[in-house]
Amino acid sequence: MKNLISVLDMKDNMLELIELAEKLKKERGHHGAPLKGKTLAMIFEKPSTRTRISFGVAISELGGDPLYIASNELQLGRGETVEDTAKVLSRFVHGIMYRAYDYKITDELEMYATVPVISGLDNLEHPCQALADMMTVKEKKGGFRGKKFVYLGDGNNVCNSLMYACAIAGMDMVVACPAVRMPNAEIMLKASRIADANGCRISASVEPMEACKDADVLYTDTWISMGDQTLAKEDALRIFKKYQVNSDLLAVAKEDCIVMHCLPAHRGEEITADVIDGPQSVVFDQAENRLHAQKAVLYKLLG
C-alpha cells in the first residue's frame, strides 16, 4: 500500500489498519513521536471540519507537522499543472492529503508525486471516512460477518467507498437509493465481485422499508454533496423523501441497530433530529474514529 485514493488501495490492508487504529486509540497520549520530522501537506479545494482537524491532530500527535493549504492559494489556482505541483511538493513534504472536486486531480497527483497521496474525499470516494466507519462498526458490533449494513439516500462518494469497504470486510450491504441516484455502476460491480469472493453480498433496493428490515447498521449522508450541481434542492427533497432515516425506518431494523452518518448532517432532511440525537446514534464516536483511523494510515504510509 503506497497511497490511499480509493478503498481498493487498502484492499489487503484494511483489517490490519483497523487493528492498528484500535491500538492507537487505546494508546492515545503515549505514542512517542514515530513521525517526527515528517510533514503532511493537507490541501483542500472544498470546506472541511472533520477531515482537516482530524488529519492535523493525527500527524501532530504522531510527532509530525501538519501544513494546511487552501488550493486556491497555490499556483495551482493560477494554472500551474498538477504534475509540477506534485513533483515540487514531493521535494518538500513526506505526504500529501488532498480534498478534490474531481477524482482526476487525485489520480494525477498520485501519478506524479513520489510521496504517498491520501484522498480526503473526491467526487468518487471518501476512503478515510470508510475506514473510520468500518472501525466504528467493529467497535460497536464486534465484527462484520453476518451483519447487515444499510446505506440510505444518495449513491454518492461515501456510498461508493462503503460498498468497497463492506465487501472487503465481509459484511452484507444493501444500498437503498432512488433509481435515478444509484451509486456508480462500475464501482458497484467491482464491489459486488469482491463481496462474492469474500462470502458476502452487496445489493441495491429502491424500497427503504424493505431494505432496513433486520438491519444492524443504518447509514446515511447528505442528499446534496459538495459541488454536486446535478440536483436542485427542491428536487432532492422530493426524490429522497422516503429514504429519510427516521423512527419509522429504525423501527423495522434490529433492536440494537446503530445509526451512522459521516457528518455534516442536515436534520429534517436525510435524518431526523430524534434519530441522530437519539440513543442508537453513534455519529460522534464515528467522527472521533476519523482521528484514530487516519493515524493508522499515516503510520502505515509515512512511518
Is 91 among the catalytic positions?
A: no
Q: Which of 9, 94, 107, 126 is catalytic?
A: 126
Q: Which of 1, 53, 67, 226 binds ligand NVA (CB under 6 A)?
A: 226
Site string for ligand CP, 216-255 (x = CB under 6 A): ----------------------------------------
Return the residue nearest ligand NVA (CB atom). Answer: 225
Residue 263, interface with ligand CP (CB under 6 A)? yes
Distance CA 143, CA 98 (A): 30
Burial of 242 (0-12, 13-18, 19+ CB in 10 A): middle
Q: Which of 23, 49, 81, 114 binds ligand CP (CB under 6 A)?
A: 49
Tell which residue, 29, 54, 32, 55, has the closest CA to residue 42. 55
Please confirm whether the linkage preceding 178 is cis (ω < 30° from 0). Answer: no
Among 158, 204, 212, 297, binds ligand NVA (CB under 6 A): 158
Question: Between 236 and 275, how does the x/- string for binding to ligand NVA read (CB under 6 A)?
Answer: --------------------------x-------------
**237: burial class by Cβ within 10 Å (0-12, 13-18, 19+)?**
middle
- In which order are the strands placed within the sheet that holds 258-261? 202-205, 172-176, 148-152, 217-220, 258-261
Work out whether 57 is an interface residue with ligand CP (CB under 6 A): no
Interface contacts to ligand CP, rule CB under 6 A: 48-51, 121, 129, 262-263
